Structure 1
Amino acid sequence: MNASRIALVTGANQGLGRALTEGLAARMSPDDLVLLTGRDQRRVADAADAVAQLPGTRSRVQGRVLDVSDTGAVTALAEDLRARYGGVDVVISNAVARVLPEESQAARADEFIDVSNTATHAILRSFGPILRPGGRLLVVASSLGTLGHLDPRLHHLFDGASLDQVESAVESWRSRIHDKTAEEAGWPRWLNVPSKVAQVAAVRAVAAERRERDLATGTLIASVCPGMVDTATSRPWFSDYSRAQSPARAARAVLDLVFAEPVDPALYGELVRFGKALPWHGGTPPVEQDRLLTP
Structure 2
Amino acid sequence: MTVALVTGATQGLGLALVEGLAQRLTPEDTVYLTGRDLGRINQAVESLPGGGAQVRGEVFDVAEPMAAARLADRLGGVDIVFGNAVMRVGPDDDPRSIVEAYTEVNNFGTTRLLRAFAPIMRDNGRLIVVASSLGTLRQLAPVLHDRFDGLSSLDEVDEQVAAWRDAVLDGSARSGAWPGFVNIPSKIAQVAAVRALAEQRREDDAARGILVAAACPGMINTPTSALWWDVSDAPTPAQAAVALLELAFQPVDPDRYGQLVRHGKVVPWR
- Normalised by the size of structure 1, how large is the TM-score? 0.89
Q: How do residues 1-295 of structure 1 correspond to structure 2 at under 5 angstroms?
A: 4-51=1-48, 54-55=49-50, 57-82=51-76, 87-162=77-152, 163-238=154-229, 240-261=230-251, 263-281=252-270
CA distance in 1, matches of 2:265, 2:36: 32
CA distance in 2, matches of 1:136, 1:60: 19
Shift of 1:133: 1.2
Shift of 1:106: 2.0
Partner AA of 1:75 in structure 2? A
**Do the aligned residues in 1 keep the contact of 2:63 with 2:108 (CA within 8 Å)?**
yes
The residue that corresponds to 1:289 in the other structure is: none
CA distance in 2, matches of 1:106, 1:146: 23
- Normalised by the size of structure 2, how large is the TM-score? 0.97
- The list of structure 1 runs, each at least 4 consecutive aligned residues, that deviate by more than 4 angstroms after superposition, is none
SS in structure 2 of the partner of residue 266 of structure 1:
helix
CA distance in 1, matches of 2:65, 2:28: 30
Percent identity at matched positions?
51
Q: Deviations over 1:201-236 (max 9, x none)?
A: 000000011111111211100000000011232221
**Do the aligned residues in 1 keep the contact of 2:133 with 2:267 (CA within 8 Å)?**
yes
Q: Deviations over 1:163-211 (max 9, x none)?
A: 2111100000011111111133421111000000000000000001111
**Do the aligned residues in 2 keep the contact of 1:15 with 1:232 (CA within 8 Å)?**
no
**Do the aligned residues in 2 keep the contact of 1:23 with 1:255 (CA within 8 Å)?**
yes
SS in structure 2 of the partner of residue 67 of structure 1:
coil
Q: How many residues align?
A: 269
**Do the aligned residues in 2 keep the contact of 1:120 with 1:199 (CA within 8 Å)?**
yes
Partner AA of 1:182 in structure 2? A
Shift of 1:29: 1.3
Q: Say what the alpha-carbon RMSD is for the aligned residues.
A: 1.0
Shift of 1:242: 4.3
Q: Deviations over 1:237-293 (max 9, x none)?
A: 11x2244110000000000000002x0001000000000001000xxxxxxxxxxxx
The residue that corresponds to 1:286 in the other structure is: none
SS in structure 2 of the partner of residue 71 of structure 1:
coil
Q: Which has the higher helix share?
A: 2
CA distance in 1, matches of 2:212, 2:55: 23
Structure 2: state its 5+ residue gaps: none
CA distance in 1, matches of 2:68, 2:175: 34
